[in-house]
């Protein structure tokens, strides 16, 4: 069943010239008889009984409003997944390129998913969640609405995420806590040993200070920025920026660290 949907011919509102080459397996539902549109890019696979581009499960949705879902290219959306359209015409749910979304995952309205992420089975994202690139979730995890999941992060199985996961971090638990850097993921994605050493030193300065409770988080971030041995690494700068942005207005802060008393 395909309703009010473009497969393999349109992306970001622009016509593509490629042949229709996205594949929908038996029992899958793509699109819905709603105002707005579901746009599916090229070389996607939509698995058996997946439901992609249907009405959101948000009571703020008003019947007749346009709502949108844009899916990029080369995504593998496996069996029984559900991906919903946006609540309002002013926003859209977005799935980037080259993502593996395993069976029974849920991506709610207005989520923004980047590229080359891996969501293991039963990864459940509430509305307005942002996932950057190269993030990896283990099975049976849930993410609170409006949380941000940073690039190259890893979420352990069974975790409950109620605050942001900064870039390059590994978290797990209910409620999830920082467990260190995602070292294996960083190595797999080509970060050098010297870059990783710099990131580990930055992590220790921020989350494992010698003088407990003596300095604020902002002071520790500033110390990292002034450290000439590590501040020149783009990854360290990106890590610090990711943490700072999580404390901006309307953001949720970052997952706690079990030895970190200052919140």
The structure tokens listed for 201 are 């030193």
Active-site choice (31, 114, 127, 198): 127
Reply yes or no on whether 109 is catalytic: yes
Catalytic residue among 84, 106, 109, 148: 109
* Catalytic entry in 97, 110, 133, 164: 110
d(CA 29, CA 174): 33
- For this structure, is 110 an active site residue? yes
Q: Encode the chain in three state secondary structure.
A: CEECEEECCEECCEECCCCCCCEECCCCEEECCCCEEEEECCCCEECCCCEEEECCCCCCCCCCCCEEEEECCCCEECCCCEEECCCCCCCCEEECCCCEECCCCEECCCCEECCCCEECCCEEECCCCEECCCCEECCCEEECCCCEECCCCEECCCCEECCEECCCEEEECECCEEEEECHHHHHHCCCCHHHHHHHHHHHHHHHCCCCCCCCCHHHHHHHHHHCCCCCCCHHHHHHHHHHHHCCCCCCCCECECCCCCCC
Respond yes or no: is residue 127 known to be catalytic: yes
Which residues does the annotation mark as catalytic?
A: 109-110, 127
């Amino acid at each position: 069943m395909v309703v009010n949907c473009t497969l393999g011919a349109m992306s970001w509102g622009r016509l593509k010239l490629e042949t229709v080459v996205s594949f929908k397996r038996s029992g899958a539902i793509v699109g819905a008889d709603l105002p707005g549109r579901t746009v599916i890019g090229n070389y996607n696979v939509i698995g058996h009984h997946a439901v992609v581009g249907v009405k959101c499960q948000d009571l703020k949705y008003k019947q007749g409003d346009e709502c949108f879902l844009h899916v990029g290219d080369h995504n593998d959306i496996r069996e029984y997944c559900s991906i919903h359209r946006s609540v309002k015409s002013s926003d859209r749910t977005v799935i980037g390129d080259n993502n593996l979304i395993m069976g029974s995952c849920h991506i709610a309205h207005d989520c923004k998913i980047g590229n080359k992420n891996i969501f293991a089975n039963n990864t459940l994202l509430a509305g307005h969640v942002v996932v950057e690139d190269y993030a990896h979730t283990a099975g049976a995890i849930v993410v609170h609405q409006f949380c941000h999941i940073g690039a190259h992060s890893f979420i352990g199985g069974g975790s409950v995420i109620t605050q942001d996961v900064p870039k390059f971090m590994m978290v797990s638990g209910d409620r999830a806590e920082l467990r260190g850097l995602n070292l294996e993921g960083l190595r797999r994605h080509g970060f050098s040993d010297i870059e990783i050493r710099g990131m580990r030193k930055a992590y220790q300065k921020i989350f494992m200070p010698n003088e407990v409770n003596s300095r604020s988080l902002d002071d520790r971030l500033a110390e990292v920025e002034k450290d000439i041995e590590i501040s020149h690494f783009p990854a360290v700068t990106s890590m610090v920026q990711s943490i700072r942005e999580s404390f901006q207005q309307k953001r949720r802060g970052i997952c706690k660290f079990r030895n970190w008393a200052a919140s």
